[in-house]
Amino acid sequence: MNYNKATSLLWLTTVAWGLGFVATRIALVEGITVLEFIAIRFGIGAVLINILFYKQLWKITTDEMKAGAIIGTALLLGFIAQTFGLLHVTPSVGGFVTATYVIIVPFLDRFIYKKKIDIFEGSAAALMLVGLGFITISDGFNINIFVLPVFACAVFYAFQTSYTGVAVQKNDAIRLSIFMFNFVFVCAAVMAIGQNVATGHTTIVTMRAVYWLLFCGVFGTFMAFLFQNIAQKHVNATTAAVILSMESVFAFVFSVILYGEIVTARILIGGGIILCAIMLCQTKLSFLKRLKSS
């Protein structure tokens, strides 16, 4: 696969994830529980990937199982935190806060792989905190604590992104995806069933919820994560991170168009600052050097 095709896959992933914030919010409002939502979307993804790549299913190695379980655990925890947060924050806020995982990645790499943090990454982290402040603190200086679960999701996603970049270089991306999908589905399904049995909860699924669940399962899960794992084998980490971070912009646009979210100055300023922080962290202003040399 060439570079252009790989980046195209990442852009498709980004659009699907951006719309996924709206889809998640709508499904939750319709009465689907957090664990049910995760189990269903990954269940759809697991069924599709098992059917499409059934020959690869029996070739999964022990190393791929281990790597898939690590990635799957990070994804599961991230989705639980994010989906719970989206019960209480708008899709655009969820999108911008989730996008901060791009800035968190270098700090995890420092902790795990002992990589140094440069001045651009440190400055980006400071900018990120300013942007989060605009988004989370209201005029009366009240803090929306439900942003915290979404930020926790960003930390889990940062680990998943960092580890996936390493894992796909040593393992087959498709077999890794197969095990990851099945792992998350089984874990989420067991947890959802256990929760419903313990609480006596019964969910009535509306057709509106079904539509968005299908979207999240087919496009936001199966297609998006498969495309990401394949593309990251052919695109450098910086390019991948910048493209994928644009999910926050698509989340904002789709939230305004489809969910009717009211645009506020705080969202625009905070979201803009976070995007600037992401670009600073990932590009390190290299485009300015190219302008000077041209």
Distances (CA, A) of 59 to 53, 80, 194, 210, 259: 10, 30, 31, 33, 43
Distances (CA, A) of 14 to 20, 63, 155: 10, 28, 18
Model pTM score: 0.84
Q: What is the pLDDT along the chain (294 residues), one digit of tens a residue?
A: 788 888 899 999 999 999 998 998 888 888 888 899 999 999 999 999 999 998 898 899 999 999 999 999 999 999 999 989 888 888 888 888 888 888 888 888 777 777 777 788 888 888 888 888 888 776 555 677 888 899 999 999 888 888 887 888 888 888 998 999 999 999 999 999 999 999 887 878 888 888 999 999 999 988 888 888 788 778 776 677 778 888 888 998 999 898 888 888 888 888 898 888 888 887 776 655 555 555
Q: Please name the residues in contact with 223: beta carbons below 8 A apart, sequence gap of 6 or more.
A: 12, 13, 16
Which among 184, 265, 221, 226 is positioned nearest to 56, based on CA atoms? 226
Q: Please name the residues in contact with 15: beta carbons below 8 A apart, sequence gap of 6 or more.
A: 247, 250
- Residue whose pair of structure tokens reads 């800035």 in the numeric block: 103
Diameter of the chain by CA atoms?
Answer: 67
pLDDT at residue 141 in the model: 59
- Do the Cβ atoms of 65 and 53 come closer than 8 Å? no
d(CA 28, CA 25): 5
- Do the Cβ atoms of 225 and 45 come closer than 8 Å? yes
Tokens representing 202 are 């019964």
pLDDT at residue 293 in the model: 54
pLDDT at residue 73 in the model: 95
- First and final C-alpha spacing in the chain: 30
- Do the Cβ atoms of 78 and 157 come closer than 8 Å? yes
DSSP annotation of 137 reads: B
**Backbone phi, then psi, for 33, in 5-degree steps?**
-80, 165
pLDDT at residue 46 in the model: 93
Which among 169, 162, 93 is positioned nearest to 132, based on CA atoms? 93
The residue type of 15 is V
H helix intervals, 100-172:
101-113, 119-136, 147-170
Residues written for the chain: 294
